[in-house]
Amino acid sequence: MWGALSPPERAHRCRTAAAALSPVPSDRLALVADLWARGGAPGRAAVIALQLARTCVIAERWAAARRWLDRAAPDTGDTDPAVLALAAHVALAEGDRDGAVRLAATAAADAERAGHVETVCEALEITGRAQRRADPAASRAAFAKGERLAARHGLVPWRLRALAELGTLDILGTGGTARLEEARGLAVEHGMLGLAAGLDLQITAGTVSIDGPVTALARARRCVEQSTRLRLSGPAAHAGMFVARGLFWAGDVRESAAVFDELTRTVPDPTNLRSARAAVDGFAAWLAHDLVAAVAGLGESVAQLRENAAANPAPVWGQWVLLATVLHPDNPAPLTELRGSDVLVQSSNRAAVHYAEAVLAHRGGRPDAATDLLLRGDAALGGRTFERLLLRCLALDADDAPEPLLREAIARCDPRGEVQLARWCRERLRRAGLPVPRPTRGRDTVPERLRARGVTDRALDVLRLVAGGSTNAEVAARLHLSVCTVETHVSSLLA
């Protein structure tokens, strides 16, 4: 972007970008631009204002970005495609999805006529992001076109950004992170550390749905560190929210609250933060078996996201609707809203619709229909194992305790440190008078497939010795057990 500038001017631009990312008053940023304008060529102030607007967009300081765009427009013209592309970005962040699409379309057309390929790529990216929920096919087409255009012209940064966005669509659909991992590797290879940090953030989101928020905690912390070093306040804040959620599900509730408190003081855009914190409060209530407070907390989380039509179609939409259906099956409003919402682009939310319908079928005395709907929900989630187990648990009535599901969740959560969900499942088994598996002695002691079927650590020891040809008496002697106990383990294993 700055390759054609002289070394002194590149240094000036770097210093200005750093200033825009720093927590300083806007009048100091104006002073930087004014100083640059003095003694420079005509129009230089507008160029600087445009760069400051771009830097504020990176930092998610939308109001400041709009002010700098207003300063850039008089000299560069309202139809300057670079100004229009950034204006589309700001409009999208402020929730004006239709306005963002219009601005991006005009920017792309003007930039294509002028031969400004980078601006075309930027406009296509905004188009794809604006249509991600309302028109997934058009969104994917815009990102794919941007990727092909960038590849044809050797624009590595824009190609990787397009790949990142296509990878985000993968997460919303299958939950897979392979494309994002590939893009991240290329970003690191080309020294694009800021983009790599953003990709880490998206991979973290995918990891949560597959393996759980605790497993994602280490990557989220790395993303916070990298983004903070690069002074990328937006990605650092979003990654911090994943850290707070991971700590909560790991059982470190006090530390989670401390992270949220710190984010409150530093986050550039509080909407997503308020939503994330309300969701954690809702889950805290659910874990304490207070469904009324849980529905209220998750509902408040959704209310924050509902204010912005371009907000992430987060899984909390489906989680709220499912729990609301369990609590108030006679109130169809939440499920009706979700059925007609564009947040169904998120496969987790589509699965939640099936699970909520299964709850209603079960309450209506239609067990076969309920089973079929549960299987549809499972199919919608594919490999998103943690999300499937969480939603299945949310769908349980107060007196339900399906032993296979609860044991599978414990087997999955124990080795991954998902303390909260594993504890909740044990409580359900205990209240139902069913055998409760003890916490594992170490990570992956019993394979998940066997632990989900009730195989304990000691039963696995017996299984291995019997499979090796030992008699029951030999197993008893080896493990310092009675022969009767060994026979009980063998009977359980055969069952």
Q: What is the pLDDT of residue 20?
A: 37
Q: What is the pLDDT of residue 323?
A: 97
Residue 7 in tokens: 């070394």
d(CA 333, CA 481): 58
| One domain for residues 290 and 388 | yes
| One domain for residues 395 and 275 | yes
| One domain for residues 339 and 359 | yes
Residue 408 belongs to a domain: no
Domain boundary at 238, 268, 298, which? 268
| One domain for residues 201 and 233 | yes
Q: What is the pLDDT of residue 47?
A: 79
Domain that holds residue 295: 270-400
Q: What is the pLDDT of residue 408?
A: 94
Q: Is residue 356 within 8 Å of 322, Cβ to Cβ?
A: yes
Q: What is the pLDDT of residue 58?
A: 79
Q: What is the pLDDT of residue 86?
A: 92
Domain boundary at 218, 239, 268, which? 268
Q: What is the pLDDT of residue 4?
A: 42
- Please provide the DSSP assignment of 192-242 as one string: -HHHHHHHHHHHHHHHHHHH-TTTTHHHHHHHHHHHHHTT-HHHHHHHHHH
Q: What is the pLDDT of residue 9?
A: 45
| One domain for residues 193 and 274 | no
Tell me the pLDDT tens digit for each residue of 372-415: 999 999 999 988 999 999 999 999 988 888 999 999 999 999 99
Long-range residue pairs from 74-77, CB within 8 A, at least 24 positions apart, any chain: 74/46, 75/42, 75/43, 75/45, 75/46, 76/43, 76/46, 76/47, 76/50
Residue 470 belongs to a domain: yes
Domain boundary at 355, 374, 400, which? 400
Q: What is the pLDDT of residue 328?
A: 96
Query: The CATH number of the domain where 191 resides is what?
Result: 1.25.40.10
| One domain for residues 247 and 283 | no
Q: What is the pLDDT of residue 239?
A: 95
Q: What is the pLDDT of residue 32?
A: 55
> How many domains are contained in the chain?
3
Q: What is the pTM of this model?
A: 0.75
| One domain for residues 219 and 314 | no
Render the burial of 453-462: b for 16+ CB within 10 Å, e for the rest: ebbbeebbbb
Q: What is the pLDDT of residue 5?
A: 43
Tell me the pLDDT tens digit for each residue of 141-161: 999 999 999 999 999 999 999
Q: What is the pLDDT of residue 310?
A: 76
Residue 18 belongs to a domain: no
Residue 113 belongs to a domain: no
Stretches in the chain below the pLDDT threshold 50: 1-28, 39, 76-77, 442-444
Residue 397 burial (CB < 10 Å; 0-12/13-18/19+)? exposed
Long-range residue pairs from 65-74, CB within 8 A, at least 24 positions apart, any chain: 65/89, 65/90, 66/90, 67/26, 68/29, 71/33, 71/45, 71/46, 72/46, 72/47, 73/46, 74/46
d(CA 315, CA 393): 15
| One domain for residues 257 and 183 | yes
| One domain for residues 186 and 263 | yes
Q: What is the pLDDT of residue 100?
A: 94
Residue 293 in tokens: 């407070």
- Break the chain down into helix, strand, coil percent, rounded to 5: 75, 0, 25
